[in-house]
Amino acid sequence: MATPGLMASGVGLSRNDVGAPFPHIEDVSALEAVRDKVLDALIETGDGPVWTVHDLGELSSLELACLAEKGLMTPGFARGTGFGRGFAVYGDGKASLEINGTDHLQLLAHRDGEHLSELWTMLNVLDDQLETAANYAFDPRWGYLTARPSQAGTGMRVYATVHVPALMLTGRLAAVALELLGQGFGIAPLWGGAGGLLQISNLARHGKPEAEVLQQVKEISKGMVEKERSVRKMMNRETPLQVKDHIGRALGVLQQAWSVTFAEAVSLVSAAQVGMDMGIVEVPELVTQTAFEFLRGLQPAHLMMEKMDSRSGCLENPEIDEVRARVLRNAFVGASVRA
């Protein structure tokens, strides 16, 4: 697993074709025209990785859920319906494109670790390529126009996922959230906030250039990580027995439980990750992947498709919790807390 820090990075770009009404107007012929010309442009792209176009009508609800769990599709688009929708994946999951969701186009890129600058560089190139097919709606004063006026401007949203369970546990997070809100940034819980996993993102899209927003999100995430490290050191100094007890109990459940929900798994793995970061826990089976990568694989659709060999089914199936527990037992079988 990775050292404490920024767990994952994400960038999204929203764009609209000036010649067509926004998707919520449901002008079928206009939406289909946007979709068709954009997909044609993707197919004609010659250099670099290729786009894989998916027929949304042929994807099961489970496959759509798995794409959303991977960060390649927004949950709203995965659940949505409507005319003229399209979807494509760039390269081996490097980026993705939603067509006629909330906006005509939404480019998405997500990666474990600290890669905001790389993601923006890639999406900027793909954005320029798409603009050859769609004449973007742009206003000199307001920037790129979007279906939601509050998102006009750069049309860019930047996400940084941080692991800060100590800040959450000690109640210090509220003050940080208020401070960031005044700067135009927000904190939202990821996976319900289990395990202290939070997403930092820019709330406003207007008034700041993309490079400045990226740099601010980087600095904010690093600042939160430093605060988290300080609080962990304080807790380990003042209440070392309670810290070890909390981590040890989590390992006990990870090694012995036979049914574990996803939210519980996130909290348990989070505690184990804290122990690894502090150097008091060893998990030999997890040295080859990050905590975020491991947790993503514990989500319901991932487990059904990768561990249960299913392409359809109910995500509320209780057997999923049993499979998740088995994965956890196997992963943490050799884990221990140092005395």
Given a contact cutoff of 8 angstroms between Cβ atoms, the answer to whether 247 and 280 are in contact is yes
Please list the pLDDT of the chain residue by residue as tens digits (339 residues): 444 567 899 999 999 999 999 999 999 999 999 999 999 988 876 566 789 999 999 999 999 999 999 999 999 999 999 889 999 999 989 999 999 999 999 999 999 999 999 999 999 999 999 998 999 999 999 999 999 888 889 999 999 999 999 999 999 999 999 999 988 999 999 999 899 999 999 987 777 899 999 999 999 999 999 999 999 999 999 999 999 999 999 999 999 999 999 999 999 999 999 999 998 998 877 777 788 999 999 999 999 999 998 877 888 899 999 999 999 999 999 888 887
Q: How many Å apart are CA 303 and CA 136, to the nearest integer?
A: 39
| Domains of the chain in sequence order | 6-229 (3.30.590.10), 240-337 (no CATH)
Q: Where are the beta strands (DSSP E) in 130-266?
A: 138-139, 143-144, 156-163, 185-189, 197-202
> Distance from CA of residue 54 to its chain's centroid?
21
The model's pTM: 0.91
Local structure of residue 314 (DSSP, 8 states): -
Is the alpha carbon torsion for 269, 271, 276, 277 positive or negative?
positive
